[in-house]
Structure 1
Amino acid sequence: MPEYVPIKGYDQLMDALKSQSKNNCLIYLYFFGEKDQNGRSWCPDCVAVEQNVDTAFRENAHPNSLIYTVDVGNREAWKDTTNNKFRLHPFNMTEIPSIQRWNGVERLDGDQLRKPSLLELFFEEAKLASSTDNTIPCK
């Protein structure tokens, strides 16, 4: 079963990725808006896709992968196009929610996460690509 690693903010994500850099293992990044004390994100799109994404990870993610669930912050921080580091290289994000394979090209954003068939294809492509680019299972 994949290991879920909760991440809060850009700096914590970069630290986690640096700590795994020598391992070259398969890491999925799931970006979403900050959640309140009831576990509900301020981002309505994030709320709308949460069940699909959870199911897709459970059913399709490589069993020996890491899943970084990345809280990009509150609405104000996300909308700050000047200082939001998630909007810059290497993530180049323009919308949330988003799923990416770290060090890969596979990515789904926004409404694409509402489609189970696209989520399934994302994981198939990520597994295939990881088998050819020397990415290894994490465990």
Structure 2
Amino acid sequence: MITRHYIEGYENLLELIQNLKVNGPIVVLYSGSKLSNGKSWCSDCVEAAPFIERGLEFAPESAHFIHVEVGDRTFWKDHKCPFRTSPKTKLNVLPTLSLWGTQKRLEGAQCLDLGLFEMLFNEDEI
């Protein structure tokens, strides 16, 4: 069973990854932060959430899943947002699901396609 982590913010993401001791892949989901109603301000993230949950079934049991909330809408839309500018993340779209340290990722509407999850988690390529 994959190990799950939930955090908010760029610095917290880097700190968590630096401190993780893992033998498997690190899967990172980037989404908009939750509002007081418990749902993300990002409607695409809300729509993709059930597909992402089902898609994680294709992940190896040794995987660590990090769900990181990028901040509020204003912070995300700022072109200086570290999630957008950092070479470690290079985000353009929410939601984005990526395999940390690789170029493999699903962006936006791709997170609605379970077939793409199967390809993303193809163990021969992880």
Using the alignment, how far apart are the partners of 1:38 and 1:55 within structure 2? 23
1:44 Cα offset (Å): 0.7
Query: Which residue is equivalent to 2:31?
Result: 32
Gaps of 5+ in 1: 131-139
Change (3 A) 1:115 1:18: same
Is 1:69 the counterpart of 2:72 in the alignment? Answer: no
CA contact (8 A) 2:30 2:70 kept: yes
Pairwise mapping of residues 1-139 of structure 1 onto structure 2 (< 5 A)?
1-20=1-20, 23=22, 25-57=24-56, 59-82=57-80, 84-87=81-84, 88-124=86-122, 127-130=123-126
1:118 Cα offset (Å): 1.1
Identity of aligned residues (%): 30
3-state SS of paired residue (1:120)? helix
3-state SS of paired residue (1:96)? coil
- TM-score in terms of structure 2 length: 0.92
Decide which structure has greater helix share.
1
Please give the root-mean-square deviation of Cα atoms over the aligned residues, in Å. 1.3
1:65 Cα offset (Å): 1.1
- For 2:116, the aligned partner's letter is L
- TM-score in terms of structure 1 length: 0.84
Change (3 A) 1:92 1:28: same
1:19 Cα offset (Å): 1.0
1:24 Cα offset (Å): 5.8
